[in-house]
Amino acid sequence: MKIALIGYGGMGQALKSAALPRGHTVPVIIDRASGEATAASINAEALAGADIAIDFSSAEEVLDSARAAVEVGIPLVVGTTGWYDKMDEVKSVVGNKIGFLWSSNFSVGVHMYFRIVAEAARLVNNVDEYDVWGHEIHHVGKADSPSGTAKTLEKILLDAIARKKTVVEDKLDRKRADSEIHFSSVRGGVVNFGHTIGFDSAADRVTITHEARNRDGYALGAVKATEWLAGKTGFYNMDEYIRDIFPDSKNNNV
């Protein structure tokens, strides 16, 4: 396939490195700052010559990316986070005109992690002596906090543990309520991608951690998801693709 990359920062470059060995080409790079870019901004003309597009740019550009992809008639994969308040508008633009696939995280390892955490949370739901907390760390260049991955983990925990009703993401200057989960975020370092969920009792603590060594797993997962989307129309999230890999998995809306 001829892939258009929208956004050519660290993830965009990792996507290109993952796509080329799989027989794809990258004739289109859309980025305001990169010297390798074929266009500076997203529009239909910039996407000409591509079979499919992958957007890891910014939340503000996702709607424009969807409109341009629909105009050209090519599928679009979106890994950018922070745009979910525009979800209904993007759905309306996409309709059944093109294939559209989004995820807060394309790493297959992270999706395995989601399912491990979900099963652990279902167990903890039955033993109320265990409290629960979450923590994440991302590199200094991460644009949003908490991450989309953290948001997914929060939802998994709230869905599974009946005694937990809300998540607090801000600094706490008070005692945390029993019905709350505190999920903290740290930003620092050049290559940091890590999430930890803790199940904590007076007797012991169980922690479940996923740490990425680099962007390679995210990039390869996004390219494989792009291959899966080719030829489809409609609006998908990563779960439809992941069910093909883990067919016995429950739907965690990831």
180-192 pLDDT per residue, tens: 999 999 999 987 8
Q: Is residue 76 part of a domain?
A: yes
* CA end-to-end span of the chain: 26
In this structure, are 91 and 114 located in the same domain?
no
In this structure, are 35 and 160 located in the same domain?
no
In this structure, are 98 and 222 located in the same domain?
yes
In this structure, are 92 and 114 located in the same domain?
no
pTM attached to this predicted model = 0.77
Choose among 88, 195, 109, 182: nearest CA to 148.
195
DSSP string, 10-47: HHHHHHHHHHGGGT-EEEEEE-SS-TT-SBSS-SHHHH
Positions marked active-site: 138, 142
Counted domains in the chain: 2
Give residue-wise pLDDT tens across range 183-223.
999 999 987 889 999 999 999 999 999 999 888 999 999 99
Q: Say how far apart CA 10 and CA 211 lie, in whole Å.
A: 18
Domain that holds residue 82: 2-106+215-245
Q: Is residue 236 part of a domain?
A: yes
Q: What is the DSSP letter of 128?
A: T
pLDDT of residue 252: 45
In this structure, are 17 and 94 located in the same domain?
yes
Q: Which CATH number do you get for residue 220?
A: 3.40.50.720
- Residue 253, pLDDT > 50, answer no
Q: Say how far apart CA 242 and CA 247 lie, in whole Å.
A: 8
Give residue-wise pLDDT tens across range 100-113.
999 988 998 999 99
Q: Is residue 53 part of a domain?
A: yes
| 180 phi and psi angles, rounded to 5 deg | -100, 150
- Residue 248, pLDDT > 70, answer no
In this structure, are 102 and 145 located in the same domain?
no
Contact predicate 6/53, CB 8 Å: yes
Please report, as a single letter, which amino acid is at residue 206: V
In this structure, are 78 and 117 located in the same domain?
no
Q: Is residue 46 part of a domain?
A: yes
In this structure, are 228 and 179 located in the same domain?
no
In this structure, are 133 and 193 located in the same domain?
yes
Q: Is residue 253 part of a domain?
A: no
In this structure, are 147 and 57 located in the same domain?
no
Q: Is residue 43 part of a domain?
A: yes
In this structure, are 115 and 80 located in the same domain?
no
- Residue 134, pLDDT > 90, answer yes
pLDDT of residue 176: 97
Using pLDDT thresholds of 50, 70 and 90, give the confidence band for residue 61: very high
Mean pLDDT of the chain: 93
Choose among 121, 106, 117: nearest CA to 227.
106
Q: Which CATH number do you get for residue 205?
A: 3.30.360.10
In this structure, are 38 and 118 located in the same domain?
no
Q: Is residue 251 part of a domain?
A: no
Q: Say how far apart CA 26 and CA 16 lie, in whole Å.
A: 7
Least confident interval from 73-77, 88-92, 162-166, 244-248: 244-248
Q: Is residue 84 part of a domain?
A: yes
| 194 phi and psi angles, rounded to 5 deg | -150, 145
